[in-house]
């Protein structure tokens, strides 16, 4: 009797694993690897790609304290979390090696460090912070891109997407200049992505460089008229209140960017794009 029941269970299991829907979904779902996915825009990318059924490799520096990401992972079995500090080159290489056999359709370079505004102005420059910002935003992003470019080239979609910033556009720089290190790190990153678009073009890899716009990852929308505003953000809050700047939510910005990534063309590779698809000046 027990043998019959066991045989029946094995038969049912075989039927389940052989079901074409299940097998083909996992096999055909595209894969995205995201850096810095524990909060802000990266977290929202992880959430939306997971909901779209993609295989999501959501990386972050400290998975143990990434509560919101852990919550998404508990809802979506197609999302896995990996520990990755993009400035730890040995760890980047080790992760790339561990996934050597995996084709990655979209590599999403999201992680970045903004740093304190007051420490990035002429007369009060914190050089340790400046080095750190460049180490994360420029060097770390380049290292991740280099380590995973073969995984992307082996995929169907072949897309490297990097979040740049209009703060790194020399042409769009307004007075008073601030965030010196962050701006410089993004300007250099833009140039590196242009280089990479040229270097990988003959392998069919598309390099998308996207400015997300001003996205409310710091809770600006919740600041009331009488609430204290952190010194670093007084200028941006002033511009928001006067209507000069417009804020988007992470949900809206990421939705826009996923549409751009989905429809990215060879002509847009190595071009600096806004989240709404407009071309931005360098
Ligand atoms: N929000 C905007 O308005 C805006 C505008 C223009 C461009 N962008 C760009 O969009 C991207 C996301 O912005 P955001 O506002 O979501 O930023 P955010 O809220 O400050 O989040 C930054 C993310 O990067 C991670 N990170 C920092 N250093 C790292 C490292 N060494 N290794 C791995 N991860 C690291 C952070 O992880 P921890 O939590 O561990 O620090 C965090 O997950 C950035 O590239 C940013 O420059 C944003």
pLDDT along the chain (282 residues), means of 10: 46 37 59 98 98 98 98 98 98 98 98 96 96 98 98 98 98 93 98 98 98 92 82 82 88 98 98 96 98
Element (H, E) at 49: helix 40-51
What pTM, to 2 d.p., does this model score?
0.90
Cα(267) to ligand 1 centroid in Å equals: 27
Q: Tell me which residue has its CA closest to atom 21 in ligand 1.
A: 40
Q: How far apart are CA 148 and CA 184, in angstroms?
A: 24
Rg of the chain over CA atoms, in angstroms? 21
Strand (E) positions, 41-139? 55-60, 79-83, 106-109
CA distance 262 to 247: 23
pLDDT value for 237: 84
78, 56 Cβ separation under 8 angstroms: yes
Any atom of ligand 1 within 6 Å of the Cβ of 217? yes
- Report pLDDT for 26: 56
Expressed in angstroms and rounded, the spacing between residue 29 Cα and the centre of ligand 1 is 26
Listed by start position, the domains of the chain span 28-213+248-274
Q: What is the CATH number of domain 28-213+248-274?
A: 3.40.50.720
Q: Say if ligand 1 is within 6 A of residue 111 CB.
A: yes
**118 CA distance to ligand 1 centroid (A)?**
19
For the CA of 135, the nearest atom of ligand 1:
31
């Amino acid at each position: 009797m027990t043998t019959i029941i066991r045989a029946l269970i094995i038969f049912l299991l075989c039927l389940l694993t052989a079901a074409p829907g299940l097998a083909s979904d996992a096999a055909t779902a595209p894969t995205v690897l995201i850096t810095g996915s524990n909060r802000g825009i990266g977290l929202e990318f992880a959430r939306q790609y997971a909901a779209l059924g993609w295989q999501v490799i959501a990386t972050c520096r400290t998975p143990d304290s990434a509560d919101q990401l852990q919550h998404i992972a508990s809802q979506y079995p197609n999302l896995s979390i990996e520990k990755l500090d993009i400035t730890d080159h040995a760890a980047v290489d080790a992760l790339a090696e561990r996934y050597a056999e995996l084709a990655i359709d979209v590599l999403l370079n999201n992680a970045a460090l903004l740093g304190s505004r007051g420490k990035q102005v002429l007369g009060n420059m914190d050089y340790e912070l400046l080095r750190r910002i460049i180490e994360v935003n420029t060097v770390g992003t380049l290292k991740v891109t280099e380590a995973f470019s073969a995984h992307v080239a082996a995929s169907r979609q072949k897309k490297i997407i990097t979040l740049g910033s209009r703060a790194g556009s020399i042409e769009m720089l307004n007075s008073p200049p601030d965030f010196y290190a962050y701006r410089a790190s993004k300007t250099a990153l833009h140039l590196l992505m242009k280089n990479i678009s040229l270097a990988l073009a003959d392998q069919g890899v598309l390099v998308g460089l996207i400015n997300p716009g001003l996205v409310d990852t710091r809770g600006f929308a919740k600041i009331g008229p009488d609430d204290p505003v952190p010194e670093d953000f007084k200028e941006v809050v002033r511009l928001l209140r006067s209507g000069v700047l417009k804020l988007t939510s992470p949900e809206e910005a990421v939705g826009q960017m996923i549409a751009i990534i989905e429809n990215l063309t060879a002509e847009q590779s190595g071009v600096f794009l806004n989240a709404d698809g407009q071309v931005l000046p360098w």
